[in-house]
Structure 1
Amino acid sequence: MLDLTGYVTDGGLETDLIFHHGVDLPEFAAFPLLDDPDGRALLRAYYDGYARVAAEAGAGLLLESPTWRANTDWGALVGYDQAALDRVNTAAVQFLREIANEWRDRVPHVLVVGMVGPRGDGYLASDAEPSEAAAYHLPQVRSLADGGADLITAYTLTGIGEAAGVALAAREVGLPVGIGFTVETDGRLPDGTPLADAIAAVDAVCPPTHYAVNCAHPTHIEPGLADAPTQLQRIAVVRANASQLSHAELDEADELDDGDPVALAAAVTRLRDRLPGLRVIGGCCGTDVRHIAAMWGLSA
């Protein structure tokens, strides 16, 4: 079992870059920044901010690669063929490894995570079969492993089959894996599956090391925690949205809703009380270093 006791991870990378730094991210893809010196400098400053939170909190640090969109379908839309994707996924992990090495004397423990995202839209239900999803995600997972990732985490998954497929791909390359689901305002997956049932179904195919919930406000996650404690104690990571808007409302929003960092931190604390296995706390859409610092009892 991978030890994930007390780790800081980052916030909403893409929304932070777009709304706070004026960066154009076609298709919401951050990974092309790795191919530009200014983009690398911006990413470095971004990750350093969260490393400082971890150092001040005395917590571990998860450095998660900016590769949520770096798969075949999304990559093609921003001009990356498979060879270019293999290169940039590997380079993303190596980039984070350099940052990790520079923070090791100030942070108790650092892990470098290869991040995988959904093949389709992170807000729409996926009906992929496990074998199909495993074959699709395997090239990215292998490239992240080649870069030296300590583990793989898939975020914003919306279906059981795709989640199981990512777990199968990670098993093939021999890396631990976290499976991250997103939920709607009722605490269920976009297709209506209860969170605990989704965990049980993936475990029946290929149990990951742990589970995550991301891209939902804590008040949307809470309704999904009403029962099935055996399954829910498998949730080790929460990366919450700042906004209480639904996914449909967020899709239509022209301005960033970054909520209230203190109120968000209080809501995350309530989740801690419901999730005995929770070890990693960070953010998703609308969050930045202010929100994560507040979650760890600090000021940014």
Structure 2
Amino acid sequence: MKLAKSKMSLLFATFFICLFMSLAASAQMEKAAEINGVVISKEQFNKELNIHLDRVARQGRQVADDQLAALKKDILEGLIEREVLYQASQKAGIKIDEQKIDEQLAAIKKRFPSEDEYKTALGKMKLTENEVKLQILRGLAIRALIEQQISSKIVVTEAETKAYYDGNPQMFKQPAQVKASHILIKVDAGADDATKAEARKKIETVQQKVKAGGDFAELAKEYSEGPSNTRGGDLGFFRRGQMVKPFEDAAFTMKADEVSDIVETRFGYHIIKVYEVKPAQTLAYGDVKDKLNQRMKQEKVEKDAGQYIGQLKKDAKIEKYL
């Protein structure tokens, strides 16, 4: 289980992690760390820790005792790094427009079904909207700093992207894919013969309607018992290994616009219609070069940002109390 985030992912964590961060504590409060005279309180550290622990718990997992110490260390380092970055942004004279803060706040509010639920969430986190806006401001300032000091100075040349493409052909291979829909009549694999016979009779009835020229999507909406029925049975494109074997074996032997015979899987009985077949291929350089350029630039940004943060920390007066 990968519980500890990388340095960069901690710096650019989602809003909901940042949201729980409290304001910089006064020197009189119990300290977790102090950076150039600015205190990170133990309360702030504990809030950040609890966010991570709660998130893991919601995924049905727990943090093992031997992983907790490493997690605490990473959280403290993340708080320190965000603080040195914010201080650097202020030294660089970075200012954030109030309009940008308001836009981010509006985007956050849209994540909630209503204004009341948004306010309730703030109340549970013991935050005011002004505190939320302050955290948005700090996050935008850090992003602007990274853009100013690092991202804007990085260039990935055409020669670099082409060399990467040519040197890593396996990364650009796309396996065969099929676009298909299906109609499913459910029956448990362990059902008795009578129950299976009843389900089989249902799918045979549907099969006759398909053979008679019935619209497959409409029949799927009417008869299919699978979750894709509301989409007319549409499963989109899939590769081998994404469906149960009897289903994929049938689908990958069919041509476009063909309809299968009845296929039995552990879920029940299926009729499959294939709409499109994409053979295995290697993506052309022209089709991937822009995305590849963005990816390579981001990798350089992360590498250089790590070095930049390391220098900021080296130049700062940092005291840790945990």
Length-normalised TM-score, structure 1: 0.20
Structure ranking higher in helix proportion? 2
User: Which one has the largest radius of gyration?
Assistant: 2
Length-normalised TM-score, structure 2: 0.19
